[in-house]
Homo-oligomer: A and B are copies of this chain.
């Protein structure tokens, strides 16, 4: 990419608040250099004029690219191989959501390869006001995804997001933080060190140019990218009003599985999760549940382990006869028949099977339960 083209993309990234589908369409049609020139000179239609009016005189593209360069990052668009085309295809099917548009460019920093990540990733999101339970579960799921070569996408926030990023890093997994401000603006500031590690080993990405501060509406706009880059979105904890519910809504709108982790009904931090479950979200209790949703065909979650009982192998008749023996003491076959409500002839066979299985013991014509070892 020549400097001129890069600078045009950087200029276009800042000049309209994303997503701006009209500007994106113009750029696809005439190319970034021509599009930037037209915006700068006001040679655009009314919609783009209005969307770019406030910022078209601002050109700090060279500075922005310098900042990006200093961080070792790259500015990618739909022409780049790294662009997650497949993942972003999901935006095509969304209607009724004004922000449901593919981004025009992404500012990306980190060694991971975005297009590859989006093929096997889950978003782990949730409330900033997480409980110890929520942070534990987020970390457990993230570590489990890392162990199964799946990336963990999240928003870099306090609480659930941070627990997920940190656990993925600790497990040498790949994690992606999608920011609601510039890639050089760590938010929250207290997560600066963590985000440095994320961009050192995974990816930090944003559709906002360097220096931009996150704002409330940008979090909501950003959430669509978190949902789009992940094969499924799981909300670990969310209060009655949580941004995580917005990410889950995006996942649903994009046709991706919406998932929630149940929690104590006595915990206000799980209210949002239970609302999602009530609305039909997938129940996630283990990493395997998530991998089943984002993984390759056939990666089914194994059955939950069930404690086994020696009675499992018994047929109904034998179990019925077994139940008719008293906890203490012994019974004759006739007494067993009465207790079981079966004809005497029908208890002898089952008693013999139970004796062979070592479950009952015969002694002097009477039967009793064998002591469990």
* A contact set with B: CB distance below 8 Å: 16-17, 50-51, 53-55, 58, 133, 136-137, 213, 215-218, 239-241, 261-266, 270-271, 273-275, 277-278, 282-286, 304-307, 309, 319-320, 322-324, 326, 334, 337-344, 346
A-B contact pairs, 26 of them (CB 8 A): A50-B343, A50-B346, A51-B341, A53-B344, A54-B334, A54-B340, A55-B338, A216-B322, A217-B319, A217-B320, A218-B323, A240-B304, A240-B305, A240-B306, A241-B306, A241-B307, A241-B309, A261-B265, A262-B265, A262-B270, A262-B277, A263-B264, A265-B286, A271-B304, A274-B285, A277-B277
- Report the minimal beta-carbon distance from A77 to chain B, rounded to whole angstroms: 19
Q: Would you call A342 and B266 a contact (CB within 8 A)?
A: no
CA distance A274 to B281 in the complex (A): 12
Neighbouring B residues of A306 by C-beta, 8 Å? 240-241
By Cβ-Cβ distance, the 8 closest A-B pairs, closest first, are A17-B341, A262-B262, A215-B323, A265-B285, A53-B343, A54-B337, A216-B323, A240-B306
Neighbouring B residues of A344 by C-beta, 8 Å? 53-54
A58-B338, A240-B305, A262-B265 given; 18 more Cβ-contact pairs under 8 Å? A16-B341, A17-B342, A53-B344, A54-B337, A54-B340, A54-B344, A215-B323, A215-B339, A216-B319, A240-B306, A241-B306, A262-B262, A262-B270, A263-B264, A263-B265, A265-B285, A271-B304, A277-B277
Neighbouring B residues of A275 by C-beta, 8 Å? 304
Q: Would you call B262 and A342 a contact (CB within 8 A)?
A: no
Give which listed residue, B136, B266, B338, contacts A54 with CB less than 8 A: B338
CA distance A16 to B55 in the complex (A): 88
- Report the minimal beta-carbon distance from A103 to chain B, rounded to whole angstroms: 15
Beta-carbon nearest neighbor of A308 in chain B: B241
Beta-carbon nearest neighbor of A236 in chain B: B265
Neighbouring B residues of A266 by C-beta, 8 Å? 133, 136-137
Q: Would you call B54 and A341 a contact (CB within 8 A)?
A: yes
Interface centre among A51, A53, A305 (most CB of B within 10 A): A53
Neighbouring B residues of A286 by C-beta, 8 Å? 265
Beta-carbon nearest neighbor of A212 in chain B: B339
Neighbouring B residues of A338 by C-beta, 8 Å? 54-55, 58
CA distance A262 to B343 in the complex (A): 45
Neighbouring B residues of A271 by C-beta, 8 Å? 285, 304
CA distance A285 to B344 in the complex (A): 50
Beta-carbon nearest neighbor of A53 in chain B: B343
Neighbouring B residues of A215 by C-beta, 8 Å? 323-324, 339
Neighbouring B residues of A58 by C-beta, 8 Å? 338
Neighbouring B residues of A273 by C-beta, 8 Å? 262
CA distance A53 to B340 in the complex (A): 11
CA distance A346 to B50 in the complex (A): 10
CA distance A344 to B55 in the complex (A): 10
- Report the minimal beta-carbon distance from A162 to chain B, rounded to whole angstroms: 19
